[in-house]
Amino acid sequence: MGSITRSFANNITTSGVLLPASLTNNSIANVTAYNASVATGSMVLISSQTASASASISFTTGINSTYKEYQFYLINCHPATLNTALSFNLSTDGGSNYNVTKTTTAFFSYHNEAGTDAGLQYENANDLAQSTAFQIFNEVTGNANDDSSSGILTLFNPASTTYVKHFITVNDKCNADQYNVTQYTAGYANTTSAINAIQFKFVSGNFDDGTILMYGIK
């Protein structure tokens, strides 16, 4: 028995199942597909919604125990109202109520188009302490034709009935004073009930435009 054959034989069970040690970068070539049970680390698009004069955008299905991590991509969210804030809230009852208790932190960096003003600071006005209010994560977006905001919200293990539910948001926007502002918000939903819905809305006025994509992370 050659050394290659012997090595392979040592990594197979008596029932013919390959052991994990036998699967390396050098042991498999020209693979075009895996069995569905093999985790490949991919992002799976679950659903998407595009706003058009919409009061809010809600995802009430697809948030469950299938994935331990969900990501929401907010693309060119354009408000109908000048200098309004983008916010979100979570639900444990499929979207009948968006009132989950949250504790959060928030900070932002900024720089204007003239290059004369820049900084980094904590945002006391937008953090929450055991509050059921909507969490603001993008403040005062301009509503000029070329103004919008884009970002990512990550929600961790929403189906857990043991732990609180952590989330992180990063959002970038152009405001009415021609500043680029990048806002960072993180915190947890202080509930051991499963989170199964999320809603996005501007504090005042509608979404004039914008697309939100919901991904599950394998």
Assign residue 64 the CATH number of its domain: 2.60.120
> What pLDDT is attached to residue 143?
84
> What pLDDT is attached to residue 139?
78
> What pLDDT is attached to residue 32?
56
- What is d(CA 103, CA 94) in angstroms, rounded to the nearest whole number? 21
Return the ∠ at Cα 36 (arms to 30 and 38), rounded to 5°. Answer: 70
| pTM of model > 0.85 | no
> What pLDDT is attached to residue 146?
86
Q: Which residues of the chain have pLDDT under 50?
A: none
- What is d(CA 209, CA 76) in angstroms, rounded to the nearest whole number? 7
> What pLDDT is attached to residue 2?
64
Those residues with Cβ within 8 angstroms of residue 176's Cβ, 6 or more apart along the chain or in another chain? 82, 83, 140, 142, 143, 144, 147
AA letter at 138: N
Q: Same structural domain for residues 189 and 138? A: yes
Q: Same structural domain for residues 6 and 114? A: no
Secondary structure percentages of the chain, helix, strand, coil, to 5: 5, 45, 45
Instruction: Give me the domain span that covers residue 58.
Output: 35-217
Q: Same structural domain for residues 5 and 90? A: no
Q: What is the dihedral of CA 116, 119, 124, 125, to 10 degrees?
A: 30
Tokens coding 138: 């993008």
Q: Same structural domain for residues 122 and 20? A: no
Beta bridge mates, 138: 86
Which strands sit side by side in the sheet containing 118-122, from one edge to the other?
43-50, 207-217, 69-79, 149-156, 165-174, 179-189, 102-112, 118-122
Q: Same structural domain for residues 84 and 1? A: no
Q: Same structural domain for residues 22 and 76? A: no
Per the structure, the count of domains in the chain is 2
Q: Same structural domain for residues 6 and 57? A: no
> Of the candidates 16, 186, 191, 173, which has an alpha carbon nearest to the alpha carbon of residue 91?
191
C-beta separation of 200 from 136 below 8 A? no
Q: Same structural domain for residues 57 and 148? A: yes
> Of the candidates 49, 125, 86, which has an alpha carbon nearest to the alpha carbon of residue 205?
86
